[in-house]
Structures are given as structure tokens and as C-alpha cells.
Amino acid sequence: MRGHRFSKFVPAEQGANSKFDQLFNIFQQLLLMTSGDVSEAMAWLSELDRQYKLTNDSYGVGDFFDDLKKKGYITEEKGDEGKLIMTPKSEKSIRKSALDEIFGKLKRSKSGGNHHTPHMGSGDELSSDIRQFQFGDTLDQISMTESIKNAQVNHGIGDFMLMENDLEVVEREQKTTTATVVMIDISHSMILYGEDRITPAKKVALALAELIRTKYPKDSLDIIVFGNDAWQIQIKDLPYLEVGPYHTNTVAGLELAMDILRRKKTRNKQIFMITDGKPTCLKEGIKYYKNSFGLDRKIISKTLTLAAQCRRLDIPVTTFMIATDPYLKQFVQNFTQVNNGRAYYSNLQGLGGFVLEDFQRNRRKNVK
């Protein structure tokens, strides 16, 4: 009878240093730059491999492509053409990658996704503060140890008696939710002058979406893009977002953002606007009023009016300006002063850090 036959076991590469993971990190960046075009991203990856020798004799780009399909990151679209498309698994992986890259070492919270505040109220977690029982307090808040001790002190230990005045309860930490709208400029200037500004903007929005989904799942996040007009997109659409031949209708974006936030019941509301240029467009009826040659008084006046409306609604607007022109900075300063919001003049590398800092700061505001 033939026994077991053993051969040398060569384990596959695992972890962040495996060839697949190395190529996949690059591939995800390329997917964002190509607006989710899998075929174009693979072509770019092949070109990078030719120039920089990313693969070796044992693992090539073809092996990587096969692994992408086996692991469920890409698939063929149903139809005659059989176009390669990303799967939901790939979209989720891109969000997580953006979160890790931009927001660093943030970890998932065990608190269920609420924001801590300095106020006491009806939250999920008990604090260390104890107070007298009040009408409306729930039974699970009662501190039995303190209450029984009060009963013994007040009535003696002979005949046990527990009265309402003996009861003490443990305070709960109040938590709140935040409604956030991110406005992304998709005007043509976002890819002018040989600089890709739309990819970092998409990456920041993806990271913020993943942060809210994992750490603050009770918050809401809505994404708006604005060019000649403004419209809402889903988070899953972000990797596929492209710049168009548009002007910058900031007014339309703010109006849509305000409409969305008016429907939110939470007290904390905020708008993040990522742009690189000045407002250059208004819609009047069915016609567009455009002026790309400077700060048009008519357009600026309407934009500042909306900034004031946001302030009256207690909605701060944080502007992330990817430009350094002095006259544009002056416009943003005026806009920020009217809204009582914030403004950052960021390069593309520092954009994510600014967004995170302001998100963490704003979510503690306006709790009354």
C-alpha cells in the first residue's frame, strides 16, 4: 500500500509585501485617475511595469489581472462588448485605501458611531457623574449601590425602605449626529495647467465617506458636484467622477446643499466646498450668465448672499481653496467672513489633513 507522498511546500506571498498587494495599491490609484476605467488603468499599469519593472519572472501583469478577477475586484459587464468594470468590493477597497492614506491611523470606534460632546444627556454610554433621580430617568440609569446606601443612611438598617429621595442615577454622556455635505468643483479648471486636482478631491471625499461609515455610522454624508449646474451623486459614483467642460456655478452648489441640509433633523450641519477657482456662472431661468475673465460683481453678490443665508441657518461653510492667486484669496476671505465659516488654502498634498481637522472640529459645534 502506497503511503503519503510529500513535496516541498512553497507558500504564496502574503501581506502588504506580496506582489499582488504592491500592484493593487498602484492599480487603485490609477483607477481614480482614470475615473474607474479598468482597461485604461491596466494599460497604464503595463506601461509603468515596462518603465520601472514592477513585476518579475514569477509574477507578471497577466497574473495580477487574473487574480483581480479571481478575488472579485473586477468583472465583465453583461452585454456584447464585455467591458471590464469594478465590483462593489473594489469600490469599498478604494474607499478604505483613501481613508488609510489620508486619515492615517484612525481606528474604528466601539461607541457605535456617535460624537462625544461636553454635555450630559440621553446618550449610549454611562459617565462617572451621579445625581439625584428625576422624573423621566430610566431604570437602567439607577445606581443601585448608591441608592441602597442612601436608604440605609436615611431609614436605618432594621426595616429596609427605599424611597424616591434615596434614588441616585448615573449620568449618560450626550452624543450627537452631524449632517455633512461635500461640494466638489468639476469645472474644467480642475485639470488645467497640467495639474490633476480632481483626483485628490475625489480621494478626500472617499476617505471622508469611509470614515463616517466606520466611525460615525449615524452621521449623514451627501456629495454634490457643481459645474454649470449642481447635482447630487452617490458615494459609489465617486471613483467614476470626471471633470467636464464647465464653468463654476458655486451658487447652484450652495442652493442644493442648503436644500439637502434643511431636510436633516440633526442640529449639527456643515458644508465642505473643494474648489480651485472663482464663481464664473449663474443660471437665470433657462439661460446661463457666464464670465470667466474676472470676479464678476453680479455673480459674486449672489454667492455672498447665499453665504449669509447659510449663516442664518447656522450652517458653516468650510472652503478648501486649491489655488494661491491673491484676488481669489480675497474673494474667499470675504465669503468666509460673511458666512462666519473657515477657509484653507491648501496644496493637493495637505488637503486631506485639513478636511479631517475641520470635520472633527465642526462635529462638536452647535450642540445646545
Mean pLDDT, to the nearest integer, of 333-362?
75
Measured distance between the N- and C-terminal CA atoms of the chain, rounded to whole angstroms:
81
**Does residue 120 have a pLDDT over 50?**
no
Question: Of 362, 103, 85, nearest to 210 (Cα)?
Answer: 103
Q: How far is CA 13 from CA 10, 21, 96, in A?
A: 9, 9, 22
- pLDDT for 215 equals 84
Q: Residues 41, 27: contact at Cβ < 8 Å?
A: yes
- The DSSP string of 35-80 is TT-HHHHHHHHHHHHHHH--SBTTB-HHHHHHHHHHTTSEEEPSSS
Question: Of 334, 338, 333, nearest to 312 (Cα)?
Answer: 338
pLDDT, greater one: 327 or 248: 248
The string of pLDDT tens digits covering residues 53-96 is 999 999 999 999 999 999 999 999 876 577 899 999 999 999 99
pLDDT, greater one: 356 or 153: 153
- pLDDT for 339 equals 93
Point out the least confidently predicted range of 108-122, 196-210, 222-236. 108-122
Element (H, E) at 160: none
pLDDT, greater one: 356 or 26: 26
Q: Residues 247, 227: contact at Cβ < 8 Å?
A: yes
- List all residues 6 or more positions away from 23 whose beta carbon is below 8 Å from its beta carbon: 45, 54, 55, 61, 64
Question: Of 260, 248, 254, nearest to 272 (Cα)?
Answer: 254
**Does residue 44 have a pLDDT over 90?**
yes
Mean of all residue pLDDT scores within the chain: 83
Question: Of 273, 277, 279, 278, nearest to 351 (Cα)?
Answer: 273
Indicate the domain borders of the chain: 15-86, 120-175, 177-362
- pLDDT for 174 equals 59
The string of pLDDT tens digits covering residues 253-302 is 999 999 999 999 888 999 999 888 789 999 999 999 999 888 899 999 99
The string of pLDDT tens digits covering residues 146-200 is 888 888 888 887 778 888 888 888 876 656 789 999 999 999 988 877 778 888 8
Grid cell in block for residue 142 = 439607577
- At 291 the three-state DSSP class reads coil
Indicate the pTM of the whole model.
0.75
Using pLDDT thresholds of 50, 70 and 90, give the confidence band for residue 1. low
> Where would I find the beta strands (DSSP E) of the chain?
74-76, 84-86, 115-132, 168-176, 178-185, 220-226, 230-233, 268-275, 281-284, 287-290, 317-321, 342-345
CA-to-CA distance for 329 and 288, rounded, in angstroms?
25
Point out the least confidently predicted range of 6-15, 107-116, 318-327. 107-116
Using pLDDT thresholds of 50, 70 and 90, give the confidence band for residue 113. very low
**Does residue 10 have a pLDDT over 70?**
no
Positive or negative: CA dihedral 43, 348, 239, 283: negative
- pLDDT for 104 equals 66
**Does residue 125 have a pLDDT over 60?**
no
Mean pLDDT, to the nearest integer, of 324-331?
80
CA-to-CA distance for 220 and 180, rounded, in angstroms?
6
Mean pLDDT, to the nearest integer, of 20-36?
94
- List all residues 6 or more positions away from 236 whose beta carbon is below 8 Å from its beta carbon: 88, 91
Q: Which CATH architecture has domain 177-362?
A: 3-Layer(aba) Sandwich (3.40)
